[in-house]
Amino acid sequence: MALWGGRFTGQTSDLFKKFNDSLPVDYRMAEQDIVGSIAWSRALQKVNVLTKDEQVDLEKALNDLLLVVKANPEIVLESDAEDIHSWVEGKLIDAVGDLGKKLHTGRSRNDQVATDLKLWCKDEGDRIYKLLVGMQQQLVDLAIREKTTVLPGYTHLQRAQPVTFGHWCLAYVEMFDRDITRLKNALDRLNTLPLGSGALAGTAYPIDRYALAKDLGFSQPTMNSLDAVSDRDHVLELLSTASISMVHLSRMGEDLIFYNSGEAGFIEMSDDVTSGSSLMPQKKNPDAMELIRGKCGRVVGSLNGMMMTMKALPLAYNKDMQEDKEGLFDALDTWQICMEMAQLVIIGIKVNRAKTLAAAQQGYANATELADYLVAKGIPFREAHHIVGEIVVAALAKAKPLEDFKLSELQEYSTEIQEDVYQHLTIEACLEKREVLGGTSTTQVQLAIQALQEGGEIVAKTPSLGGASINQISLALQRAQQRLNAQKAEALSVRPAKLSDVNELDRIITYWSDAGETLPRTRDDLTHNILDFVVAEIKGKIVGCASLFIYGTGLAEIRSLGVDTESQGLGQGRAMVQYLMEKARELELARILVLTRVPDFFEKLNFTHTNKDKLPEKVMKDCDICPKKECCDEVALEYMVDIAQATDAINIDTVE
């Protein structure tokens, strides 16, 4: 059944119907169309277009249809409906008769499809977010496993300087971290509700669009009806994010394909992600990464196609926009399966450490160290560079490494070279000197892994920094893990609290304060300090909360941590604490305190015991309202976000 047939007296051709119909593509939005229709029925009931009984009947029929679609999404394709909207409406009319025809009152397919697509993007974005975090975690795990493995670093595909395999892994962790940021930003921007915008001028019914937005999980309604029905920026942004991330996957694939080649032989990929040759039995081809590299062009092509579709469209809706979904669906499907496959590849990689070390020792990667050695002897760098270049020419002619030259041979080029030069020419020396922020010291990668495995910060002796700074590589790895923890928390639906959450915060905190586990908080206190709180959700329902109270001297305290009893054991409490720990780092706080009766929980998150009697007075003042003040059984723990900042904060607290 067409939704627009009244104006026409003739039939459309079969060719036009095939050309025009979008059901073979947009059937994937069936769940979103039904969910949006349920919310619209509630909005219509509030403005008396539907009676309460009519709304109940419609919602029940739509929920029944939702169950059918969830059980078999492709059942929609058995229909000859024009699009998903006409399919849902047709099924609704089959179920409730003419009542089903009332649902479209005040609504257009223009604002309906815009809403469906944004709902689909939100759902898909959550899945992709989790995959990106998982991709990072696999790379961090590989970095841990290969923390001391020497790998030749390249520029122009020429051996340049040695790095570690762990350092290579962390380069891609950084890339995927930027992808996560881009995805989060895109999802934040698309979180506005078009429904209620009508065809282009807004609906004629007094719909409360703010309430409708909240009902469908959007942050707010769109502000301009013309823009709302014709906006596809969210499609372009997701395609752009997918394209950049696929470029990262493709670059990683190229590295691994080269590392896996017979010429390099640095790694071997597992059998479950490789294939053989139909002719040559010795072959083991890196097909998974080659396909990822190839599919990158497919995703970028979808972005280019959508850009060209949108570039000259007048306001408002045009049928061209029907082209938005096929490329988007394919691109995001491709992105997801490529991330899943890349994770499987990373898990199964075996590194040939002997070959990576041998390759790093070739190519005169220590030439830069020899130049730095001469600079330390007082020779200007440009002159030192020239001297070492001449030595390398001689080394190439003799086919021997620099470290095999006799001292007398080296002194032919500079008398400043002494016996101590050889300690600067080893691979170990090349690596260990790279302790600057973002560098590749094998020793400090080892310390960083130790920090991750045992908990706490690692302080390394760095004479140039006074002997008490966190080693930069250790800090980089630790912060990478902290970011992952925070991102996992968000993947578990931890988010900042909003004023509309006050009732749920009050419910949870009152329950646990009545049980004697947390301090009571008034509603006014919750309202005024809402920015301190985060909440945890399961399927849109708030099940937990926590707050980070900042004292203003680099010191903060985690308070009001509580999770509904029926939702415990699912990781929500841990996720909220990790979210607040990352927030503290972003705010450049130094020290987090907690007073608790469950120290084991916080110890697993790298908190350590501290003396409660030595806490600043301002931390302890809330104890005055605690019913257990005279027989307190809480213990104090602390977490040092940054050693240097924490030292300053402790000094300030001691003075106060």
To the nearest whole percent, how much of the chain has pLDDT over 90? 52
pLDDT of residue 18: 86
Q: How far apart are CA 86 and CA 318, in angstroms?
A: 18
The answer, yes or no, to whether residue 14 has pLDDT greater than 60, is yes
Question: pLDDT for 284-322, tens place per residue?
Answer: 889 999 999 999 999 999 999 999 999 999 999 999 999
The greatest distance separating any two alpha carbons of the chain, rounded to the nearest whole angstrom, comes to 101
In CATH, the number for domain 492-655 is 3.40.630.30
pLDDT band at 452 (very low <50, low <70, confident <90, very high): very low
The answer, yes or no, to whether residue 585 has pLDDT greater than 80, is yes
Higher-confidence residue of 99 and 397: namely 99
Question: pLDDT for 20-62, tens place per residue?
Answer: 888 999 999 999 999 999 999 999 999 999 999 999 999 999 9
Identify which of 625, 624, 616, 610 has the alpha carbon closest to the alpha carbon of residue 653. 616
Q: Cβ(207)–Cβ(43) under 8 Å?
A: yes
Helix orientation angle between 109-145 and 84-96, rounded to the nearest 10 degrees? 110
Range of lowest pLDDT (67-76, 249-258, 561-570)? 561-570
The answer, yes or no, to whether residue 486 has pLDDT greater than 70, is no
pTM of the model: 0.72
Task: Report the DSSP pairing between strands 192-193 and 158-164.
Answer: unpaired
The DSSP secondary-structure symbol of 50 reads S
The answer, yes or no, to whether residue 425 has pLDDT greater than 80, is no
Question: pLDDT for 140-169, tens place per residue?
Answer: 889 888 988 889 989 898 887 888 898 899
List, in sequence order, the alpha helices (H) in 492-548: 502-514, 523-528
pLDDT band at 459 (very low <50, low <70, confident <90, very high): very low
pLDDT of residue 516: 85
The answer, yes or no, to whether residue 652 has pLDDT greater than 80, is no
Identify which of 564, 590, 588, 591 has the alpha carbon closest to the alpha carbon of residue 576. 564
Which amino acid is it at 102? K
Q: What secondary structure does DSSP assign to 417-455, as a single string?
A: --GGGGGGSSHHHHHHT--STT---HHHHHHHHHHHHH-
The DSSP secondary-structure symbol of 615 reads S
pLDDT of residue 463: 31
pLDDT of residue 407: 86
The answer, yes or no, to whether residue 628 has pLDDT greater than 60, is no
pLDDT band at 467 (very low <50, low <70, confident <90, very high): very low
**Would you call 493 a catalytic residue per the annotation?**
no
The answer, yes or no, to whether residue 639 has pLDDT greater than 70, is yes
pLDDT band at 7 (very low <50, low <70, confident <90, very high): low
Length of the chain: 656
Assign a CATH topology to domain 10-105. Answer: Fumarase C; Chain B, domain 1 (1.10.275)
pLDDT band at 241 (very low <50, low <70, confident <90, very high): very high
| Ranges of each domain in the chain | 10-105, 110-276+284-312+320-357, 367-425, 492-655
Q: How far apart are CA 196 and CA 653, in angstroms?
A: 54
pLDDT of residue 430: 65
Q: In what order do the strands lie in the sheet with 541-550?
A: 494-496, 533-538, 541-550, 555-563, 591-596, 635-640, 608-610
Kindly state the average pLDDT of the residues 244-252. Answer: 98
Catalytic member of 156, 408, 464, 500: 156
Assign a CATH topology to domain 110-276+284-312+320-357. Answer: Fumarase C; Chain A, domain 2 (1.20.200)
Catalytic member of 277, 386, 528, 609: 277
pLDDT band at 428 (very low <50, low <70, confident <90, very high): low
The answer, yes or no, to whether residue 647 has pLDDT greater than 50, is no
pLDDT of residue 399: 82
The answer, yes or no, to whether residue 536 has pLDDT greater than 60, is yes
pLDDT of residue 438: 57
Evaluate whether the domain defined by 367-425 bears CATH number 1.10.40.30.
Answer: yes
Which amino acid is it at 393? V
Q: Cβ(581)–Cβ(639) under 8 Å?
A: yes
pLDDT of residue 361: 77
pLDDT band at 115 (very low <50, low <70, confident <90, very high): very high
Question: pLDDT for 261-288, tens place per residue?
Answer: 999 999 999 999 988 766 666 668 899 9
pLDDT of residue 6: 57
To the nearest whole percent, how much of the chain has pLDDT over 70? 82
Question: pLDDT for 97-110, tens place per residue?
Answer: 999 999 999 999 99
Which amino acid is it at 437? L
The answer, yes or no, to whether residue 368 has pLDDT greater than 60, is yes
Torsion angles phi and psi, residue 197, rounded to 5: -85, -10
Higher-confidence residue of 652 and 273: namely 273
pLDDT of residue 559: 94
Question: pLDDT for 318-354, tens place per residue?
Answer: 999 999 999 999 999 999 999 999 999 999 999 999 9
**Would you call 108 a catalytic residue per the annotation?**
no
Which whole-number Å values give the CA distances from 362 to 155, 207, 372, 494, in the listed order? 15, 72, 19, 49
Task: Report the DSSP pairing between strands 533-538 and 158-164.
Answer: unpaired
The answer, yes or no, to whether residue 199 has pLDDT greater than 60, is yes
Question: pLDDT for 401-410, tens place per residue?
Answer: 887 888 888 8
The answer, yes or no, to whether residue 446 has pLDDT greater than 60, is no
The DSSP secondary-structure symbol of 534 reads E
Mean pLDDT value across the chain: 84
Q: How far apart are CA 220 and CA 582, in angstroms?
A: 27
pLDDT of residue 644: 38
